[in-house]
Amino acid sequence: MEKVKPRTLSGFMELLPAPQMQMERIMQTLRETYALYGFYPLDTPLIESSEVLLAKGGGETEKQIYRFSKGDSDLSLRFDLTVPLAKYVAQNYGQLTFPFRRFQIGKVYRGERAQRGRFREFYQADIDVIGDGKLDIINEAEVPSIIYKTFTSLGLSRFKIRLNNRKVLNGFFAILGLTEKSGDVMRTIDKLEKIGADKVKDILTGDFGVPGGAADELLTFIQTPGGTAGILDALTRYKGRNEVFDQGADELSTVARYMTAFGVPDDHFEIDLTIARGLDYYTGTVYETAMLDHPEIGSICSGGRYDNLAEYYTDKQLPGVGISIGLTRLFYVLGEQGYLNDKMNTAPADVLILPMTEDLAPAIGLATSLREAGLRVQLYGEQKKFKQKIGYADKLGIPYVIFLGEDEIAGGVYAVKDMETGEQASVPLDGAISRIRDGLAAKNAGTVIVDR
Amino acid sequence: MEKVKPRTLSGFMELLPAPQMQMERIMQTLRETYALYGFYPLDTPLIESSEVLLAKGGGETEKQIYRFSKGDSDLSLRFDLTVPLAKYVAQNYGQLTFPFRRFQIGKVYRGERAQRGRFREFYQADIDVIGDGKLDIINEAEVPSIIYKTFTSLGLSRFKIRLNNRKVLNGFFAILGLTEKSGDVMRTIDKLEKIGADKVKDILTGDFGVPGGAADELLTFIQTPGGTAGILDALTRYKGRNEVFDQGADELSTVARYMTAFGVPDDHFEIDLTIARGLDYYTGTVYETAMLDHPEIGSICSGGRYDNLAEYYTDKQLPGVGISIGLTRLFYVLGEQGYLNDKMNTAPADVLILPMTEDLAPAIGLATSLREAGLRVQLYGEQKKFKQKIGYADKLGIPYVIFLGEDEIAGGVYAVKDMETGEQASVPLDGAISRIRDGLAAKNAGTVIVDR
């Protein structure tokens, strides 16, 4: 038969079993952490009507959309989880209770130019809190605090959440008389870290007609040093000249105070006035998250406050705060940079039972008992040589093997071998279970990410 | 602004938050149960190259494929999880250890005619065990046993796994001289339950030229009564006339014996010689699963043994056993038929903290402590009237509310209210945690499916 070469599309991550186990552990940690904060898990279709998905229209993203016809329908694959959320909330408004808190971990699609570390299919892990008409500022502090908790639970430690407030920027633009150019100015200063202050000034003055003095003042302002305390202090000195600015400064101060109350240590967040975020729809606090030892990676988790989640679908005013982890890219980077915990058990089972008798019934019974005790068990049922059987446990990294022969069955004991140390002991069922449980607790003690 | 009507495509399931919680609980039970049996979780792209995905070509399915172009690429959405598995195993053969056990819970796409209860995007939850060259018969018993365990863990009880063996059928066809028509005969008898014996006979004799006597003998054979024991007994009487038949009869007998050893009660499985399964590639044991009180629904979980998983991609002989739950349809049916446990907590949080003070820091601290104890906590931070705050807990069904005012903060006690009974008690932190934990254990004691 003519064979087709099996291959996976470029830009699509498909992991081997061991790294997939690590990815699963990360996703499970995200699900558990998000759930602790009272978020509903949500699941929306990957395909939407193009009319609905692209209601906002235009923009950079549209070229990247996977769009196609099926029958009479013009369909598109979702390119983020925010637009489907907007649709969901507008569509089910009457049946939801607000503030509506949801998380979603799902794949999204963007037909970007293929290159190393860029994915066309990738997971986003989003949380959003949506208010009906109003939403308290405390949410703008809680959302990044959840991200702090999530990353810490995964084992990441050398990261910092940087935050700013759009009102501070817009207010300052107004003070400088740049309100009409605010979109262009915002997008330009967002490039500061990438292209440097000189280039930003060139663009502001050359492309957008910002007076040189205003550009200088703006650049000095957004680069105000001193960290959170220093910047908050500096902001008070600008107060009284613009209402929006004053409101933004107050919000930043409140958010910083609450983040401390939420348990985010001072060295894990800072106000940074250069953070602008490209997207138009942010209106208040905005976030980025940097890996301190790999700033070149860019933000691993970003988001912010918006005033109008679903304006393309409904007249209802639905303000919210959301943040998104680009999970596939993060996982890729963690792997590349050696952050993934190689010591962690990635075997599909905790115990492999090797039956040494013709009749498999006793081995099956043992497997059932061990599973009832919560252990992940494989029963090796293939007709192979002993060496191959033990080699199977070895290759998969299964930490324990139990040999079950006539003697063991007759004596009601089980020969438990620790594959790492080679130690072997003959113990009754209870002893086998506690031995394996204790050993696993030690072997699985670490976190999936190791970040020193 | 002109609004676009928010809508979800027909044939795409999108659940409201409470049913979504039930669906999540089902998926979590599947993940946990499959993991107990030592299966790797696998995740493959939703999009594949059409050349790869449709390597097998032809067939009913092809018309239903979501197929489209992006740039120069001819792409298709996966329509099951078996073809991507075949691709994965062929592609990564050298890096996998066999038997390779994997589960995958993922969405698949089929552009079926839209009708109630039929979905175009739906979850399949598959397990497969793949051997390299050989695979022991015990797997053919373990796989349906895992399904028994899974359904039982979910709370389903009135179901029965029906099994047959393709070799028994093919052997019997040979005895009747029908080997050359075996594909047509197989597909025809597969319709027995739907269209009845008379119509099956008409098709066999009329369309496929099966002699009337042979058709009668076949229909009598496959309808052999007596359940597992009776049928196994009857099979021995046909033995010695065809080698394939004899092998199939032995296999059926072995599988039945092992299923009992694996703990599947006699009333939850039976041999049924009418089970044929349409798909060509099954070669040994085949399975279907019926809901006893709703036979009209058809099989909720099907699969079987195959000898060649990946013949379109590789010369390697890769036999396997697999089974698949059509999760989205099952969930739909369970909802329609009233099987979902309404008493189960579907709230996004276990506790809602209502701060009664200006300063939210003590409430935030309390939330952190409760989360550290593993409770799912929401902190209500909105500026609303008391009645609206408590109404929020009520609407979401959050089982406990904690009021935190000046007195409580000063006294180090927390006013915990059980929203169901209305009982309220002022207790210290430890007391609050144990009170809530105990209450939740009682409230969440049931299973997600209630099947009496």
- Tens-place pLDDT, residues A308-350: 999 999 999 999 999 999 999 999 999 999 999 988 889 999 9
Q: What does the domain layout of chain B look like in residue ranges?
A: 17-336, 351-443
Check A9 against B47: CB less than 8 A apart. Answer: yes
3-state secondary structure at position A354: strand
**Measuring CA to CA, which residue among A285, A282, A261 is closest to residue A273?**
A285
- Phi/psi for A435 (5° steps) reads -60, -50
Q: What is the pLDDT of residue B260?
A: 95
Rg for chain B, CA atoms, rounded: 27
Q: Tokens 């250890």 — which residue?
A: B97
Q: Are B253 and B232 in contact (CB under 8 A)?
A: yes
Distance from CA of B368 to the nearest CA of A (A): 7
* Residue in chain B lying closest to A131 (CA): B382
Q: Are B400 and B416 in contact (CB under 8 A)?
A: yes
Check A134 against B383: CB less than 8 A apart. Answer: yes
Instruction: Please name the member of A9, A20, A375 whose beta carbon is closest to the beta carbon of B41.
Output: A20
Chain A residues whose beta carbon lies within 8 Å of the beta carbon of residue B23: 43
* Residue in chain A lying closest to B91 (CA): A6
Please give the Cα distance from B203 to B181 (Å, whole number): 12
Q: For residues B206, B207, B213 and B217, what is the CA-based torsion angle, rounded to 10 degrees?
A: -130
Q: Which helix (H) or strand (E) holds A8?
A: none
DSSP E strands, A192-281? 269-271
Chain B residues whose beta carbon lies within 8 Å of the beta carbon of residue A4: 51-52, 55, 312-313
Cis peptide before B399 (omega within 30 of 0): no
Check A263 against B368: CB less than 8 A apart. Answer: yes
Check B9 against A92: CB less than 8 A apart. Answer: no
Check B20 against A42: CB less than 8 A apart. Answer: yes
Q: Running DSSP on this structure, what letter comes out for residue A340?
A: B
For chain A, what is the total number of helices (H) and then of strands (E)?
16, 16
Q: Are B339 and A237 in contact (CB under 8 A)?
A: no
Chain A residues whose beta carbon lies within 8 Å of the beta carbon of residue B385: none
Q: What is the pLDDT of residue B343?
A: 87
- pLDDT interval class at A115 (50, 70, 90): confident
Please give the Cα distance from A166 to A255 (Å, whole number): 13
Check A378 against B20: CB less than 8 A apart. Answer: no
Check B9 against A75: CB less than 8 A apart. Answer: yes
User: Could you confirm whether domain A351-443 is CATH 3.40.50.10190?
Assistant: no
Please give the Cα distance from B388 to B385 (Å, whole number): 5
Please give the Cα distance from A88 to A233 (Å, whole number): 41
Distance from CA of B213 to the nearest CA of A (A): 38
Token representation of residue A299: 């933000």
Secondary structure of chain B as H, E, C letters: CCCCCCCCCCCECCCCHHHHHHHHHHHHHHHHHHHHCCCEECCCCCEEEHHHHCCCCCCHHHHHCCEEEECCEEEEECCCCHHHHHHHHHHCHHHCCCCEEEEEEEEEECCCCCCCCCCCEEEEEEEEEECCCCCCCHHHHHHHHHHHHHHHHHCCCCEEEEEEEHHHHHHHHHHCCCHHHHHHHHHHHCCHHHHCHHHHHHHHHHCCCCCHHHHHHHHHHHCCCCHHHHHHHHHHHHCCCCHHHHHHHHHHHHHHHHHHHCCCCHHHEEECCCCCCCCCCEEEEEEEEEECCCHHHCCCEEEEEECCCCCCCCCCCCCEEEEEEEHHHHHHHHHHCCCECCCCCCCCCCEEEEECCCCCHHHHHHHHHHHHCCCCEEECCCCCCHHHHHHHHHHHCCCEEEEECHHHHHHCCEEEEECCCCCEEEECHHHHHHHHHHHHHHHCCCCCECCC
Instruction: Please name the member of B42, B99, B375 whose beta carbon is closest to the beta carbon of A382.
Output: B99
Check B8 against A48: CB less than 8 A apart. Answer: yes
Q: In CATH terms, are A17-336 and A351-443 the same topology?
A: no
What is the DSSP annotation of A207-220? TT---HHHHHHHHH
Distances (CA, A) of B448 to A302, B18, B83, B334, B340: 36, 12, 31, 10, 6
Check B41 against A48: CB less than 8 A apart. Answer: no
Check A9 against B69: CB less than 8 A apart. Answer: no
Q: What is the pLDDT of residue B58?
A: 59
Question: pLDDT truncated to tens, each residue of chain B (452 aa)?
Answer: 789 999 999 999 999 999 999 999 999 999 999 999 999 999 999 999 999 999 887 566 788 999 999 988 999 999 999 999 999 999 999 999 999 999 999 999 999 887 888 899 999 999 999 999 999 999 999 999 999 999 999 999 999 999 999 999 999 999 999 999 988 998 899 889 889 999 999 999 999 999 999 999 999 999 999 899 999 999 999 999 999 999 999 999 999 999 999 999 999 999 999 998 866 789 999 999 999 999 888 899 999 999 999 999 999 999 999 999 999 999 999 999 999 998 888 999 999 999 999 889 899 999 999 999 999 999 999 999 999 999 999 999 999 999 999 999 999 999 999 999 999 999 999 999 999 999 999 888 889 999 87
Chain B residues whose beta carbon lies within 8 Å of the beta carbon of residue A397: none
Check B348 against A17: CB less than 8 A apart. Answer: no
Tell me the pairing of strands B351-355 and B400-404: parallel
**Measuring CA to CA, which residue among B391, B399, B392, B394 is closest to residue B442?**
B399
Q: For residue B309, what are the contacts with CB-CB under 8 A and spacing of at least 6?
A: B82, B85, B86, B89, B128, B130, B318, B319, B320
Q: What is the pLDDT of residue A443?
A: 85
CB pairs under 8 A between A and B: 241
Cα B1 to the center of its chain, rounded Å: 44
Please give the Cα distance from A223 to A235 (Å, whole number): 12
Give start and end residues of each alpha helix (H) in A269-385. Answer: 327-336, 361-372
ipTM: 0.95
Q: Tokens 């759930």 — which residue?
A: A35
Q: Are B3 and A314 in contact (CB under 8 A)?
A: yes
Please tell me the least confidently modeled range out of A83-92, A274-283, B194-203, B439-448: A274-283
Q: What is the pLDDT of residue A325?
A: 97
Distance from CA of B312 to the nearest CA of A (A): 5
**Measuring CA to CA, which residue among B441, B388, B438 is closest to residue B416?**
B438
Q: For residues A52, A53, A59 and A61, what is the CA-based torsion angle, rounded to 10 degrees?
A: -160
* Residue in chain A lying closest to B4 (CA): A313
3-state secondary structure at position A150: helix
Beta bridge partners, B341, equal none
Check A378 against B66: CB less than 8 A apart. Answer: no
Check B36 against A371: CB less than 8 A apart. Answer: yes
* Residue in chain B lying closest to A44 (CA): B14
3-state secondary structure at position A251: helix
Q: Are A163 and A287 in contact (CB under 8 A)?
A: yes
**Reading across the β-sheet that carries B269-271, which strands appear in turn?**
B40-41, B100-109, B121-130, B320-326, B301-306, B282-291, B159-165, B269-271
Cis peptide before B99 (omega within 30 of 0): yes
Rg for chain A, CA atoms, rounded: 27
- Phi/psi for A49 (5° steps) reads -60, 135
Q: Which fold has domain A17-336?
A: BirA Bifunctional Protein; domain 2 (3.30.930)
Q: At B193, which amino acid appears?
A: E
**Measuring CA to CA, which residue among B216, B215, B253 is closest to residue B234?**
B253
Check A101 against B68: CB less than 8 A apart. Answer: no
Residue from A1, A8, A309 whose CB has the most chain B CBs within 10 Å, to mutate: A8
Please give the Cα distance from A322 to A305 (Å, whole number): 7
Distance from CA of A351 to the nearest CA of B (A): 9
Chain A residues whose beta carbon lies within 8 Å of the beta carbon of residue B38: 348-349, 352, 376-378
Q: Are B256 and B228 in contact (CB under 8 A)?
A: yes
Q: For residue A196, what are the contacts with CB-CB under 8 A and spacing of at least 6?
A: none
Residue from B13, B34, B43 whose CB has the most chain A CBs within 10 Å, to mutate: B43
Kindly report the pTM of this predicted structure. Answer: 0.95
Tell me the pairing of strands B67-70 and B73-77: antiparallel
Instruction: Please name the member of A9, A44, A136 whose beta carbon is closest to the beta carbon of B48.
Output: A9
Tell me the pairing of strands A301-306 and A47-49: unpaired
Distance from CA of A6 to the nearest CA of B (A): 5
Check A66 against B70: CB less than 8 A apart. Answer: yes
Distances (CA, A) of B299 to A387, B121, B249, B318: 41, 19, 23, 26
Distance from CA of B326 to the nearest CA of A (A): 17
Chain A residues whose beta carbon lies within 8 Å of the beta carbon of residue B134: 382-383
- Phi/psi for A160 (5° steps) reads -140, 130
Q: What is the pLDDT of residue B59?
A: 64
- Residue A394 scores a pLDDT above 90: yes
Distances (CA, A) of A23 to A17, A448, B47: 10, 9, 20
Mean pLDDT of the region A94-104: 98
In terms of Cβ atoms closer than 10 Å to its own Cβ (0-12, 13-18, 19+), residue B220 is exposed
pLDDT, tens digit, for every residue of A400-447?
A: 999 999 999 999 999 999 999 999 999 999 999 999 999 999 888 889
Instruction: Please name the member of B21, B42, B348 whose beta carbon is closest to the beta carbon of A101.
Output: B348
Q: Are B329 and B129 in contact (CB under 8 A)?
A: no
pLDDT, tens digit, for every residue of A176-204?
A: 999 999 889 988 998 898 899 999 999 99
Q: Which helix (H) or strand (E) holds A323?
A: strand A320-326
pLDDT, tens digit, for every residue of A118-167?
A: 899 999 999 999 999 999 999 999 999 999 999 999 999 999 999 999 99
Distance from CA of B195 to the nearest CA of A (A): 31
Instruction: Please name the member of B5, B20, B40 whose beta carbon is closest to the beta carbon of A17.
Output: B40
Please give the Cα distance from B225 to B169 (Å, whole number): 16
- pLDDT interval class at A59 (50, 70, 90): low
Instruction: Please name the member of B17, B263, B314 whose beta carbon is closest to the beta carbon of A368.
Output: B263
Chain A residues whose beta carbon lies within 8 Å of the beta carbon of residue B3: 312-315
